[in-house]
Amino acid sequence: MNKYSNWVYRIQCKNPRDTKKLKTMNWGAAFEGLMEHQRKYGIVIHRVPKEDLNPKTDDNSKAIAKLEEKNSTRQLHIAKLDTIPKKENQRSETPARHHSIIIFTNDPTEANECMNRGIIIKGRIYSSPERYAPQLNIIQC
């Protein structure tokens, strides 16, 4: 067991059988508000037109529902939708028309399926999604 912050603990198990035991226990009865952390697996799609999909301005729940519907053959269940923050070009008077979208799912097989088969956004297939690596989003001075 590791303590990360005031109320965040991580319990690691030696084998999958112990993990199943922990998941079947009623932890809420012993510790009010306790919940299991769901790991998220991110997929990045570059050069998506902002008018096609913009998590910053669109209704997120509607955008997620449309994406899941269009990608139903991939069995995609989206946990979160976001963009990679990008510094706007100060010299350019027109804002960028494209951005990079991050689609988070709780299942690694769903993420792999989307990376292998691509993602459909507004009828256009994006055939080269990549694995999201947040550690590469370092802002340099």
For residue range 124-141, what is the model confidence (pLDDT) as tens digits? 999 989 999 877 666 655
Specify the CATH number of the domain 41-86+95-133. Answer: 3.30.70.330
In this predicted structure, what is the pLDDT of residue 18? 87
In this predicted structure, what is the pLDDT of residue 92? 62
In this predicted structure, what is the pLDDT of residue 49? 93
104: tokens are 């988070």
| Mean pLDDT of all residues in 90-106 | 82
Q: How many CA atoms lie within 13 A of 122 on its CB side?
A: 8
Taking a C-beta distance cutoff of 8 angstroms, is the pair 80, 39 a contact? no
27 versus 76: which is more confidently predicted? Answer: 76
For residue range 69-93, what is the model confidence (pLDDT) as tens digits? 999 888 889 999 999 877 665 566 6
In this predicted structure, what is the pLDDT of residue 45? 94
In this predicted structure, what is the pLDDT of residue 87? 65
Instruction: Please name which of 59, 62, 64 lies closest in space to residue 77, comparing C-alpha atoms.
Output: 64
| Mean pLDDT of all residues in 113-121 | 92
What mean pLDDT is reported for the chain?
Answer: 84
pLDDT at 28 over 80: no
Beta bridge mates, 125 = 120
Domains of the chain, residue spans: 1-37, 41-86+95-133
User: Three-state SS for 32?
Assistant: coil
Taking a C-beta distance cutoff of 8 angstroms, is the pair 102, 44 a contact? yes
